[in-house]
Amino acid sequence: MNTIDAAILSKMFLAGAKALEADKEHINELNVFPVPDGDTGTNMSMTVLSAAKEVLAIDHLEMRTLCKAISSGSLRGARGNSGVILSQLLRGFTKVIKTEETLSVDILCEAAQRAVETAYKAVMQPKEGTILTVARAGADKAIELADETEDIEVYLKGVLEACEEALAQTPELLPVLKEAGVVDSGGQGLCRILSGAYAFLSGEDTGLLSDASCGEKKEEAPSSRFTYRMEFSMRPAPYNSHEERKKLREFMKSMGDGAYLEKDGAFYTGRLVTDDPGRIITSVLRNGSIETIEIVNTRRKESDAEPEKPQQKESDGEAGQSKASQTEAPAPAEPKATPPKEIGIVAVSIGEGINQIFRDLGVDALIEGGQTMNPSTEDIMKAIASVNAKTVFVLPNNKNIVLSVEQAAGLVSDKGVIVVPTKTISQGVSALISFVPGDSPEENLEHMKEELALVKSGEITYAVRDTTIDGRSIAAGDYMGITDVGIVSVEKQIDATLLSMLSAMLDEDSALITLYYGQDVKEEEAQKLFETVQQTYPDLEVELQEGGQPVYYYIVSVE
């Protein structure tokens, strides 16, 4: 096969997207830090799914419309740093091929070079040993193969093999990967897309991504001999492993029809039709806690349903009066447009307590997200659009969201957008406290950046697997204190972990400690720890706030 057209390329893309979607759970677990927020697979999959929706919606398929769907869909749907880099790879690739009717090895080679060039430019400080390294290895191999073959199947196989070889070498380029015993998760995701595309091209029956897989419409429960339709969301227990969740899936399949269990942010969503919901509930509770659950009897007849309440009839006098009022009522006046204010603020936040803190500090629009739930570029653009201001400040408050915010800022043209480089919730709060309403955007950005240099951030969570990082052995279930410089404390108790982390964070300039306790911490437990910290550091001011955040028992700020 020496050329491919838009029809073949679209199917290759959908096959690659399906391969990534199928492997996202494994990619999520290739996290260097053994924390319960590995989300690279989810971010990359949702980025590709956004593009796949656009591809599946094309009415008149040709190279131009296909490229537009892939590029715009992935750009708007990009989530997390890995998703943004993937969207930039796709953007660069489609720029070259969009004017072609068919693609040859030479054109594909040129597109691969542009893809890598575009992705590297999107990252301010590119690191080797990442998805960028894997992509570049594939592009380098493409140049070599372009001189050796015109067969696209041979070409793509060679590019895929070069990417897989580069992926295997990522631990040698990033010592932290080697110590953790994993390859780069973003690079793994890219290889899965390419392997799915190659499998389709070589005639393997892998299937393609469908509308249902893209979430275009929620699947109805299948017609079944079973009685109860169940849907639930589960927060996995600290020690719950991929293997245990796999066993739960298999058990669900043995107990009914339409069994489904997949990650959805910090939770897992499950559904099936069964005759024994009690046994399903028991099995789910062995794996974690149930957050929501719905059970419906599918055998219930329509006649058993609660009858509709009869509508109250109007008397002739009342009806006549109502109609007359409608006729005589003047048309409502057009609301006057409110002039835009000088500066508006958008912040990424998670947890109702932290949300309220940001609202109290003057944030105009909140974007729900953070670890495990990175917002998309489109989510951020919508939040910016909702703020009636000439200039909008956006605070990512998470290092994995900064690239998405920068990408969104570059796509907004009707107002000024300034990205404040906040990488933690603690930095976001400190930046907002330093905001001066009467000052210019430039002056306020300077205030905020100065404040970021004065705050230290820490988080307490648990380990999801055994590993070694920075020479420190960590066992599944251990509590970890993670600061701006990495993991600084590992203990068997939450309180001991926090106190050990604080001792590493504090110095002679420290004056204020703020503790934000999460949704899995009881108020009385947080109050007791707060008092312990006060007693331990009597010369420092200590504050306690309800954060309500998932995943992290405590977020800590030191100023």
The tens digit of pLDDT for each residue in 355-380 reads 999 999 999 999 987 666 788 999 99
CA geometry: angle 527, 533, 537, nearest 5 deg: 150
> How many Å apart are CA 507 and CA 505, to the nearest integer?
7
Asked whether the predicted pLDDT for residue 220 surpasses 60, the reply is no
Asked whether the predicted pLDDT for residue 321 surpasses 70, the reply is no
Tokens of 212: 């249902």
pLDDT computed for residue 535 by the predictor? 96
pLDDT computed for residue 266 by the predictor? 64
pLDDT computed for residue 160 by the predictor? 96
Asked whether the predicted pLDDT for residue 313 surpasses 70, the reply is no
Q: What is the mean pLDDT of residues 229-251?
A: 81
Q: What is the mean pLDDT of residues 510-516?
A: 96
**DSSP sequence for 513-526:** EEEEE-TTS-HHHH
Type and span of the H or E element at 545? strand 541-546
Q: What is the mean pLDDT of residues 294-311?
A: 58
What fold, for 456-558? Answer: Hypothetical Protein Tm841; Chain: A;domain 3 (3.30.1180)
Any idea where the domains of the chain sit in the sequence? Answer: 4-201, 228-297, 341-452, 456-558
Q: Which residue in the block uniquely carries the two structure tokens 């990967």?
A: 177
Query: What confidence category does residue 3 fall into, taking pLDDT thresholds of 50, 70 and 90?
Result: very high
Type and span of the H or E element at 491? strand 486-491
Q: What is the mean pLDDT of residues 151-159?
A: 96
Closest residue by Cα to residue 392 from 450, 327, 346, 430: 346
Asked whether the predicted pLDDT for residue 56 surpasses 90, the reply is yes
What is the CATH number that goes with domain 341-452?
A: 3.40.50.510
Q: What is the mean pLDDT of residues 281-290?
A: 84
> How many Å apart are CA 248 and CA 242, to the nearest integer?
10
Query: What confidence category does residue 307 fall into, taking pLDDT thresholds of 50, 70 and 90?
Result: very low
Q: Cα dist. 308→302, 303, 305 in Å?
A: 12, 11, 9
Beta-carbon-side half-sphere exposure of residue 85 (alpha carbons within 13 Å): 24
228-297 has CATH 3.30.70.260 classification: yes
The tens digit of pLDDT for each residue in 498-512 reads 999 999 999 999 999
> How many Å apart are CA 132 and CA 167, to the nearest integer?
10
* Cβ 4 vs Cβ 103: under 8 Å: yes
For residue 430, give the 3-state DSSP assignment.
helix
Pick from 99-103, 115-119, 172-176, 362-366: least confident: 172-176
> How many Å apart are CA 176 and CA 186, to the nearest integer?
15
> How many Å apart are CA 540 and CA 531, to the nearest integer?
12
Asked whether the predicted pLDDT for residue 305 surpasses 50, the reply is no
Q: What torsion do the CA atoms of 146, 152, 154, 158 make, to the nearest 10 degrees?
A: 60
β-sheet with 256-264: strand ranges across = 256-264, 267-274, 228-236, 288-297
Asked whether the predicted pLDDT for residue 408 surpasses 60, the reply is yes
Determine what percent of the chain is predicted with pLDDT higher than 90: 60
Asked whether the predicted pLDDT for residue 209 surpasses 80, the reply is no
> How many Å apart are CA 216 and CA 211, to the nearest integer?
6
pLDDT computed for residue 224 by the predictor? 57
Which of the pair, 290 or 319, is modelled with greater confidence? 290
Query: What confidence category does residue 151 fall into, taking pLDDT thresholds of 50, 70 and 90?
Result: very high
pLDDT computed for residue 12 by the predictor? 94
Which of the pair, 214 or 351, is modelled with greater confidence? 351
Pick from 103-107, 170-174, 257-261: least confident: 257-261
> How many Å apart are CA 422 and CA 347, to the nearest integer?
10
Q: What is the mean pLDDT of residues 80-98?
A: 95
β-sheet with 486-491: strand ranges across = 486-491, 479-483, 456-462, 554-558, 512-517, 541-546
**DSSP sequence for 98-161:** TT-SEE-HHHHHHHHHHHHHHHHHH-SS--SSSHHHHHHHHHHHHHHHHTT---HHHHHHHHHH
Instruction: Name the residue type at position 203.
Output: G
Read off the DSSP letter of residue 60.
S
Query: What confidence category does residue 302 fall into, taking pLDDT thresholds of 50, 70 and 90?
Result: very low
The tens digit of pLDDT for each residue in 116-133 reads 999 999 888 888 999 999
Closest residue by Cα to residue 244 from 488, 464, 505, 450: 464
Asked whether the predicted pLDDT for residue 10 surpasses 90, the reply is yes
> How many Å apart are CA 130 and CA 144, to the nearest integer?
22
Which of the pair, 65 or 260, is modelled with greater confidence? 65
Q: What is the mean pLDDT of residues 273-291?
A: 85
> How many Å apart are CA 487 and CA 471, to the nearest integer?
11
Pick from 102-116, 159-173, 221-235, 410-424: least confident: 221-235
Asked whether the predicted pLDDT for residue 143 surpasses 90, the reply is yes
pLDDT computed for residue 290 by the predictor? 85
Question: What is the chain's mean pLDDT, rounded?
Answer: 86
Q: What is the mean pLDDT of residues 62-72?
A: 96
Q: What is the mean pLDDT of residues 345-360?
A: 92
The tens digit of pLDDT for each residue in 547-557 reads 998 889 999 99
> How many Å apart are CA 323 and CA 321, to the nearest integer?
6
4-201 has CATH 3.40.50.1110 classification: no
Closest residue by Cα to residue 3 from 104, 107, 73: 104
- The model's pTM: 0.75
Tokens of 359: 């609202």
pLDDT computed for residue 372 by the predictor? 62
> How many Å apart are CA 186 and CA 334, to the nearest integer?
51
Do the two domains 228-297 and 341-452 of this chain adopt the same fold?
no
Pick from 105-119, 272-286, 325-339, 406-420: least confident: 325-339
Give residues with Cβ within 8 angstroms of 517, minimum separation 6. Answer: 523, 525, 526, 544, 545, 546, 547, 553, 554
